[in-house]
Amino acid sequence: MTRCAPLAPGVLWEVDAGGWLLYGYEYIDGRHPDLAPGSDDLAPLLHTLTVTSEAPWPEALNKKPLHTRWIEFLPEDVPPGLQGRALAHTDMSPHNMLMTLGGELLLLDWALSCPAPTWADTALTVPRLISAGHTPEQAEMIARHVPAYRAADPVTVTTFARTVYAAWENWERTRPMPHRAALTAAAQTWATHREKGRHTGTHAVSP
């Protein structure tokens, strides 16, 4: 998958033997980004989100789209806007990001990538920004610098925010890990913000 992904480490070789698939990647000197308010890493993050949002899913690869993967948390009638075919990383943890010495932000570990709306990775970054100290309004303002997110239907994004919270809350209860409580709280904050119909940029969000 990494071979098809923009702004990802280059794959140098792969070996398929003994039931294992092993990849070798180029070595890149860097660090994980800081997503806190005022960080200089936010601009490279937005650049990376913009570039990756423009990449189509490689149809030769057969993986469940995001709306199918999360079907148990979505409404019965899945909005068409959630049935996208863009290439999405879907695991937007800062630990899956690397700031290079040249100031570029690369995305690592594409194991959970799948077809999704063009704006999905940006939307999944919003609760990460909230968890890093941004208010929901600030996180939305940052996200709206990505054209795909800015153009997304607000009602569909609100449905997605509810879905993210429902999924993360379920995983916190059924598969608890130390980092999940803070992320679930951030997702709840984001979903509540959108459901209250507050303005995000130039759009009013419908409840």
- Give the model's confidence band at 134: pLDDT under 50 very low, under 70 low, under 90 confident, else very high: very high
Let me know if residue 25 belongs to a domain: no
Nearest to residue 201, comparing CAs of 136, 119, 141, 134?
Answer: 141
Determine the pLDDT at residue 178: 85
- Say which amino acid occupies 96: N
Let me know if residue 41 belongs to a domain: yes
Q: Would you say residue 198 has pLDDT above 60?
A: no
For the record, the structure tokens of 152 come out as 């997304």
Q: Would you say residue 205 has pLDDT above 90?
A: no
Determine the pLDDT at residue 21: 85
Neighbouring residues of 180: CB distance < 8 A, sequence distance ≥ 6: 168, 171, 172
Determine the pLDDT at residue 76: 87
Let me know if residue 17 belongs to a domain: no
Let me know if residue 15 belongs to a domain: no
Query: Among 5-19, 95-109, 140-154, which stretch is predicted with the lowest mean pLDDT?
Result: 5-19
Let me know if residue 3 belongs to a domain: no
Averaged pLDDT of the chain: 92
Let me know if residue 13 belongs to a domain: no
Q: Rounded to whole angstroms, how far apart are CA atoms 12 and 200?
A: 42
Determine the pLDDT at residue 200: 40
Let me know if residue 147 belongs to a domain: yes
Let me know if residue 57 belongs to a domain: yes
Q: What is the mean pLDDT of residues 10-15?
A: 90
Please report which residue ranges of 66-175 form alpha helices under DSSP H. 66-69, 120-131, 136-143, 147-151, 154-174
Instruction: Convert the pLDDT of each residue in 24-63 to its tens digit.
Output: 989 999 999 999 999 999 999 999 999 999 999 999 999 9
Q: pLDDT higher for 49 or 177?
A: 49
Instruction: Convert the pLDDT of each residue in 76-106 to its tens digit.
Output: 889 899 999 999 999 999 999 999 999 999 9
Task: Count how many domains the chain has.
Answer: 1
CATH number at residue 175: 3.90.1200
- Containing domain of residue 88, as a range? 31-204
